[in-house]
Amino acid sequence: MKTLLIITALLINGFSHEDDPANKLYIKAYDFILEENWDSAIDTFNQLIKDFPKSVFYDDAHFWIAYATNEKGEQESAFELFGKFIEQFKDSNLADDATRSRIKIAKKLYQQGKTNYQQYVNESETTERNLEEISLQKAVIYSLYKKGGQEELNSIKRMALSDNYSIAVRKEAIYYFFKSKEQRDVEKIGKEFFSSLKESSLRKEVIYHIYKTNAKDVNEFLKHVATDEKEDYNIRKEAIYYIYKMEDFESLKLVYSQIDQPTLNKEII
């Protein structure tokens, strides 16, 4: 389980903001996780939460505090922390791992004779079935992706845009949709996704995966998002960041000239 979680964290944060002071603090805290220095990890992640409440690492920090608390042997506290994480960050990429960890802790505590955890143990079978269903749905997405046809790609797109699936499944669908070499015209597709997706976490996924396509019209989509006054501040900030990552300084100048919001202009400067 530990290895799986470490790999998950590396995948999630493999495209982190290198110059961001919050990122540097996250790396420091995460190194403590790898070293199994649980107290230092908890203290450093708490510092990150306090100093950078708007950081992209904010939810991850809460998860790793719960994880380190469990590794310290404080299962009951960890159970509560994982529960708060699931409630507060239900759209997080780590939500399923938190749920699995909480089930495992509840079973362990119940086996120790702590009967107040019986309810959670009884409910765990249903929860585990739901997690298994999510795994199966992800497998379907991968199978469609491997087939590689336009019809299969359209099916993946429908899953990404449908409220009938969990956030985790929809993120998986977004990933494989934009990974496919069949899709073209990312500016048009990105706008189409944005017109349907309301969740910030999914909109950020679209921005990132469009950026990763390296298509010729990526910057057009990012400029559209960055200059859209109706768009959420954090989404616009994300678009600006990836324009910077592309080293498209002409686009940054254009975005700067069109944004009438000092805090966003500071992101460009």
What local confidence, expressed as pLDDT, does residue 2 receive? 52
Distance CA 231, CA 12 (A): 24
Question: If the chain, 269 residues long, is cut into consecutive pieces of 10 residues, what is the mean pLDDT of each piece?
Answer: 49 53 92 96 97 89 97 96 94 87 93 90 83 91 91 94 91 92 78 91 91 85 86 87 79 68 51
Residue 211, CA distances (Å) to 26, 81, 88, 115, 183 in order? 23, 34, 28, 50, 14
What local confidence, expressed as pLDDT, does residue 240 receive? 86
Domain parsing of the chain, residue ranges: 2-113, 184-268
CATH class of 2-113: mainly alpha
Centre a 10 Å sphere on the Cβ of residue 139 and count the other Cβ atoms it contains. 11
Predicted TM-score (pTM) above 0.75: no
Centre a 10 Å sphere on the Cβ of residue 200 and count the other Cβ atoms it contains. 13
